[in-house]
Structure 1
Amino acid sequence: MALYLLVLGVCVVVIGSVLVILMTASTPRYRTEPKDLLALFDKALESRVGETEWNALIGYPIRHDEYLDGVRRRAAHLMDQHGRRWQIARGKPLLNTTGQQELKALRDHLAAHTALRRS
């Protein structure tokens, strides 16, 4: 009987501890910052970005900064108009030539806006 109570007590303590930890833990938050978009655009211009990485950042709305969300939506629009998803596996650029030029302009605009905001 003592062994039964010992096992029951240990189980209650372990399960109770897990429940307390789960109830007090907060949900992780991810905030897309300008440096994240700039790094993604640089990788896309150098043809080093995969479709999954692109979709992970561009497909997720940015609710804390309306300007960044506008840049994200413009990049998504560029992918819809000029994207070449089927070419990525062959090591080709993510966007066609026109799309790459527009992405470079968008990247430069975001970099200038970020520099202006910091100063």
Structure 2
Amino acid sequence: MRDNVQRDLLYIESMLDNALSIEEDIKRFAKLGIPAEDESVLKLVSFSLSQIGEQVARGKLSEELQEKYSYVEWSKINGLRNFIVHDYSKIVPSRIIATVKNQIPNLIEELFKIREDLKREIDNEY
């Protein structure tokens, strides 16, 4: 079981790193006067969104973790990843920006909580 928890922790940390990068990138570009709808910003953000979904898409996160935190919309995260990777030309910039503004802050908050729970679980095993 400990291996699953440690593996889950790695994937959650990867998701968290990418989510935090999205927020940082948007802020950095805004300071430069470059709007989030700019093609370069969208490409960068879309890549990070796809990386978040990659941790769910390939069955990397354990089913136990996904069931325990079922309030996180894992299937939507995976669906967004699939859309970005397979249908990039159909991306609507306003929908990506809305996702970033409306979903990423909540996801970051939840990923922090999950990460802390996993760390506690690992610590309790020692």
Give TM class, smaller chain: 0.3 to 0.5
How does the TM-score come out when normalised to structure 1? 0.47
Q: Which has the higher contact order (CA 8 A, sep 6+)?
A: 2
Q: Flag the structure with larger Rg.
A: 1
More helix by proportion, 1 or 2? 2
